Chains A and B, each alone.
Chain A
Amino acid sequence: MTTLTFEDFKPGHFGTFGPRHVSREEILAFAAEYDPQPMHLDEAAANASMLKGLSGSGWHLGSLMMRMLFDGFIGRTASLGSPGVNEMRWQAPLRPGDDLTLDVEVAEARISRSRPETGIVTFKGTIRNAAGVVLCVMESPIIVRRRADAGAA
Chain B
Amino acid sequence: MRFFEDIEIGARREVGSFTFTADDIKRFATQFDPQRFHLDEEEGRKSLFGGLAASGWHVAAVCMKLLVADGKRLAAEAAARGEKVAVGGPSPGFRELRWIKPVLAGDTIHYSSRVETRRTSEKRPEWGILQIRNTGTNQRGEVVYSFLATAFVPRRNPGS
Give the segment of B8-16, B83-91, B104-112, B129-137 that binds chain A: B83-91
Q: Does B139 contact A (CB under 8 A)?
A: no
Residues of B within 8 A of A50 (CB): 89-90, 152
Q: Please report the total number of A residues contacting B with Cβ < 8 Å.
A: 39
Shortest CB distance B111–A (Å) = 13
B32 and A64 contacting across the interface, CB-CB below 8 Å: yes
How many B residues face the partner with a CB closer than 8 A?
35
Q: Is B79 an interface residue (CB 8 A)?
A: no
Could you tell me if B90 and A59 are in contact, using CB atoms closer than 8 angstroms?
A: no
Interface flag for B125 (CB, 8 Å): no
Contact A80 B32 (CB under 8 A): no
B66-92 CB mask vs A (1 if < 8 Å, else 0) is: 001000000000000000000111111
A11 within 8 A of B: no
Are A85 and B61 in touch, CB under 8 angstroms? no
* In the assembled complex, A63 has its CB within 8 A of some CB on chain B: yes
Q: Does A35 contact B (CB under 8 A)?
A: yes
Is B34 positioned at the interface, with any CB of A under 8 Å from its CB?
A: yes
Q: A residues within 8 A CB of B62? A: 34
* B88 with A67: CB separation less than 8 A: no
**Interface mask (B25-36 → A, CB under 8 Å = 1, otherwise 0):** 000000111110
Q: Is the CB of A66 within 8 A of B33?
A: yes
A151: Cβ under 8 A from any B Cβ: no
Asked if B61 and A88 sit within 8 Å, CB to CB, the answer is no
Taking A63-B61, A66-B57, A84-B56 as known contacts, 5 extra A-B pairs with beta carbons closer than 8 A to each other, sorted by chain A number, are A58-B91, A59-B64, A63-B31, A89-B92, A89-B93
